[in-house]
Amino acid sequence: MRHGFGVIAAGILLVTAGVAAADDVGRVKVVKGGVAIERGGRTLPATVGMAVQEGDVIVTGRDGAAGVTFNDDSLLSVGPDSALAVDRFAFDTTTHAGRFDTSLRRGTLSTVSGKIAKQSPDAMKVRTPSTILGVRGTEFVVRAAPVAP
């Protein structure tokens, strides 16, 4: 029994250690208030150290805020009542070629672009409900009010 518990504890440690997997594209660094990651139809509570994957949607509640560092050193953070979808992330660590597409569905977003935007000026795009932002190596903030029903 004691031995069995040890095995489970070791398993949990492995999960929480933030072991980088091939499809990890970034990592949650800041979590304030209610923050979740929607992944493949499931809603997972976000924690610091959690890996972010392509297709994830980062969702914050009324008191929530979250910050993610991506593998190309881009920093994206959202304020309360926000939803940010990671549509596409590809980054070659040797050539720095890649693509980075996100969508701010609602809320506020702060962005510091990283190596993908630095290597090729059209490789990073942020979509909002009304606009497409082409990132030419820069820092910016965006607010998209929720669309009224």
User: Shortest distance, CB of residue 2 to another protein, whole angstroms?
Assistant: 26
Q: Which tokens is 111 given? A: 């962005």
Shortest distance, position 7 Cβ to another protein, whole Å = 19
Smaller CB separation from another protein, 2 or 53: 53
Q: Min. distance of Cβ 129 from another protein in angstroms?
A: 7
Encoded tokens for 90: 């590809």
Residue number with CB closer to another protein (39 or 112): 112
Buried b / exposed e over 66-105, threshold 16 CB at 10 Å, is bbbbbbbebbbbbbbbbbbbbbebebeeeebebebbbbbb
Tokens 């139809």 label which residue?
A: 41
Nearer to another protein, 38 or 142 (CB): 142
Q: Nearest CA to 24 among 44, 50, 60, 1? A: 50
The CB-of-123 to another protein minimum distance in angstroms stands at 13
Site residues (vs another protein, CB under 8 A): 17-20, 27-30, 32, 48-49, 65-69, 73, 75, 77-80, 82, 93-96, 107-110, 112-113, 128-145, 147-148
Please identify, using beta-carbon distances, which residue of 53 and 110 lies nearer to another protein.
110
Task: Give the span between the Cα atoms of 31 and 35, in whole angstroms.
Answer: 7
Smallest separation (angstroms) from another protein to the CB of 116: 13
Pair 28, 68: CB distance under 8 Å: yes
For another protein, the closer CB: 55 or 79: 79
